[in-house]
C-alpha cells in the first residue's frame, strides 16, 4: 500500500514557492501573502499558511521559528546558518560551510544520537556594526 498523500501543484502553491525562492529576506507569512496577492488577488491568508506547512513538510522550504512571535520562511531547504542583527533586526544567510562535526561531537561525548542541528548567530551586521 501507498499512503503518501498526493500533493498537487496548484497555481497558489506554485506562486507561493516562487515568491519564496526569489527573495533572501526570510519573509513572514504576511509578507508572502502581500506579494502573492499581486498575482492572485483573492488568495486567502489561510492558503498561504497551509501551503507553507505543506512545503515545509515536503522539505521544499525551511521554517525559521526562532525567538519571535511569528515565523519566517526560507526558500533554501538546505541546512545553513543565519545571522540575526540586534540593531536592524534583519536575518541574513551566512556563507559558511555546515559544521557536520558538531553532530559527531555530541554523538561521541554523550549518549544522545544527534541527526541534525540548528545554529543561529546574534550580533551586528556589516552595516550596523
Partner DNA sequence: ATTTAACTAGTAATTATTGCTAATAGAAAC
Partner DNA sequence: GTTTCTATTAGCAATAATTACTAGTTAAAT
Note the residues at the interface with DNA (CB under 7 A): 5-13, 28-30, 40, 42-47, 49-51, 53-54, 65, 69-71
Cβ-based neighbours of 125, under 8 Å, separated by 6 or more: 83, 85, 87, 88, 90, 92
Binding site for a second copy (CB under 8 A): 63, 65-68, 83, 86, 92, 94-96, 99, 102-103, 105-106, 109-126, 129
d(CA 87, CA 124): 7
| Least distance from DNA to the Cβ atom of residue 99, Å | 28
The cell for 80 is 545553513
Q: Which does 92 bind (CB under 5 to 8 A by kind): a second copy, DNA, none?
A: a second copy
Amino acid at each position: 500500500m501507498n499512503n503518501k498523500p498526493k500533493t498537487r501543484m496548484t497555481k497558489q502553491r506554485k506562486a507561493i514557492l516562487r515568491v519564496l525562492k526569489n527573495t533572501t529576506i526570510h519573509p513572514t507569512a504576511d509578507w508572502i501573502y502581500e506579494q502573492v496577492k499581486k498575482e492572485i488577488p483573492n488568495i486567502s491568508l489561510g492558503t498561504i499558511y497551509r501551503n507553507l506547512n505543506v512545503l515545509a513538510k515536503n522539505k521544499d522550504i525551511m521554517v525559521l521559528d526562532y525567538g519571535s512571535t511569528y515565523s519566517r520562511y526560507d526558500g533554501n531547504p538546505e541546512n545553513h546558518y543565519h545571522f540575526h542583527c540586534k540593531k536592524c533586526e534583519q536575518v541574513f544567510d551566512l556563507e559558511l560551510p555546515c559544521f557536520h562535526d558538531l553532530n559527531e561531537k555530541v554523538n561521541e561525548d554523550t549518549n544522545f544520537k544527534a541527526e541534525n542541528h540548528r545554529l543561529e548567530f546574534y550580533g551586528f551586521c556589516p552595516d550596523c556594526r
